[in-house]
Amino acid sequence: MDRQSERAVRVAKALADPTRYELLRRIAQAGEINCRDLTTLFEVSQATVSHHLKILTDAGLVRARREGQFHYFSLRPGALGGHAAALARAFPEAPAAVRRGPGRQGRSQ
């Protein structure tokens, strides 16, 4: 598997978890938010939120900025668009004849 495919799989796995998906949505809505504030939004421990944030960061979806004792998280610019583009390249749409399937004729008008 090439590096681009490995990255796409890592992002897909990161987004597959409902808590991480919601964390990413909240981060995107806020623009930038610290871990403590994120913890108050979810019914999981601070350690669990931190673990999920690490996975999102490692997948390249969010970036972290440290200020004093707090870490602030924001959506990495272009990360979701880049992932969408990578998926489109990896799975190009099939020609119309192939999509219709065997034995099925397209409708003529």
Rounded distance between C-alpha atoms, residue 10 and residue 70, angstroms: 26
β-bridge partners, 64: 73
Map tokens 């192939």 to a residue.
Answer: 98
Q: Whole-number mean pLDDT of the chain?
A: 87
**Cα of 4 vs its chain's centroid, Å:** 15
DSSP state at residue 19: H
DSSP-derived secondary structure letter, 92? P
The pTM assigned to this predicted structure is 0.80
The answer to whether residues 73 and 62 touch, using CB atoms and an 8 Å cutoff, is yes
If pLDDT is split at 50, 70 and 90, which confidence band does 62 have? Answer: very high
